[in-house]
Amino acid sequence: MRIINQAEIRVIGCLIEKEITTPEQYPLTLNALTTACNQKSNRDPVTSMTDSEVLDAVNSLINDRLVTDETRGNARVAKYQHRFCNTEFGSLQLSKQEIAILCVLFLRGSQTPGELRTRTQRLCDFDNVAQVESVLNRLCSEEVSPKVVKLEKEPGKREARYGHLFCGEIEDSVVVNHTHTHSEQVNNDNGQRLDELEQEVTALRAEVAELKQLINDVLA
C-alpha cells in the first residue's frame, strides 16, 4: 500500500467511523462525507475541506481500490464506502479492536493508550488500558509492515503516545519540536517575570530614596 496523504486518511477514517456508528446512513454521499471530514467533534485537527477536495481524495482512493463507488441503478447521488481492510481481495485483515484504534488515530492523530480507550468506546469494547496496549503492541510489531509506532514520551506525561504509519514515518522531531516550543515558552515567561521584578525593584528603590530624603528634610 502506498503512503496516503492527510486528506485521504481523513476520508478513510470517516468512512470507517460511519460504517460502524451509523450503518443506516452508510455508504456515504459526497455531502455526508464532506460533513464527516469537517466535524468539529472527534477530529484533530478540525478541517474545512471543500466538496472538490474530498472528491479528489475519494477518486485517488478509488484508483487504489481503497474506496468504491456504490451508486446503484438510477440513483442520482453517488455513494462511497471504504475497502481499506477485511475484503476478499485485500491483504489487510484487522480485528474490530485494531480497526477502532486505527480509525481514531486517523481522525485524531497520535494518542496515548488511555485516550484511545476512551475515544474508541463508540467503535468497540476494551476491558482496560492494558488491553489497548496489547493491541497497539500487535500493530507495532508486525514484521513485514508495522501499522503503528510508539513515540517518545512527552515531558510531564505518564503515557507515551502512538501514531499510525499509513501517511509515512513519524519523525522524532514531532516530539522534539514540541518540547523545544514548550521550553521556549517557559524561557519567555521566565524572562518576562524577571523584567517585571527588575521594574518593581527599581520602583521600590526610588520610593526608599524619596522616604530617606523626606526623613532628612524633617530632621534637618
Nearest of 109, 58, 49 to residue 84 by alpha carbon: 58
Model pLDDT for residues 174-196, shown as the tens digit of each residue: 443 444 444 455 555 555 567 66
Q: Residue 53: CB partners within 8 Å, gap ≥ 6?
A: 7
User: Which of 5-14, 23-32, 75-84, 165-174 shows the lowest mean pLDDT across its residues?
Assistant: 165-174
| Look-up of cell digits 496515548 | 112
Q: What share of the chain is helix, strand, coil (3-state, %, to 5)?
A: 55, 5, 40
Q: What is the pLDDT of residues 65-94, one digit of tens each?
A: 999 999 887 778 999 999 999 998 888 999
Angle, helices 30-37 vs 51-63, to 10°: value is: 110
Residue 29 DSSP one-character state:
E
Q: Is the dihedral of CA 54, 55, 60, 66 positive or negative?
A: positive
Q: How confident is the model at residue 29 (pLDDT cuts 50, 70, 90)?
A: very high
Assign 195 to helix, strand or coil.
Answer: helix
The predicted pLDDT at position 182 comes to: 47
Residue 33, amino acid? L
Q: What is the DSSP letter of 151?
A: P
Question: Do 110 and 163 touch, CB atoms closer than 8 A?
Answer: yes
Cell, residue 59: 477518486
pTM over 0.85: no
